[in-house]
Amino acid sequence: MSDLPKPKYKWRQTWPDHRKHFTGFDGERKFAHIHWYHMGWWNWFMCWNWAKNASRWKRPNGQADSARAAALEVEACYEAVLRCEWPGMVPEDLQCMLDHEEWMPTRP
């Protein structure tokens, strides 16, 4: 068992035929994906980042050595966004995301 802490949010396999692709949920909000990359690492990216000016942010993605490490890294990114502390963010970005959240419905 890994010495890393357990992820805080719920993670589900994204598609039945893709065993190494997972989606992270905060309640009903889909906020991230992690997946195995064939070159030997796990990619992570936050998908709850559709602010009006998100292009000026530090990119909300990265790589990790394990699925758990990737989940923890993207959860830290997501929580920094919720605190409006992700590099490049301004308060209007978070408010825009919250105001328009219904644009991005989740699928079961």
Alpha-carbon separation of residue 6 from 38, 48, 81, 103 (angstroms)? 24, 21, 20, 30
Instruction: Look at residue 54 in the predicted model and tell me its pLDDT.
Output: 77
The burial of 96, by beta-carbon neighbours within 10 Å (0-12 exposed, 13-18 middle, 19 or more buried), is given as middle
State the DSSP H helix or E strand holding residue 32, giving kind and residue range, or none if neither: strand 29-37
Instruction: Look at residue 13 in the predicted model and tell me its pLDDT.
Output: 95
Instruction: Look at residue 53 in the predicted model and tell me its pLDDT.
Output: 73
pLDDT tens string for the chain (108 positions)? 568 799 999 999 999 999 999 999 999 899 999 999 999 999 999 987 677 777 888 889 999 999 999 999 999 999 999 999 999 998 888 888 888 776 555 554
Instruction: Look at residue 31 in the predicted model and tell me its pLDDT.
Output: 93
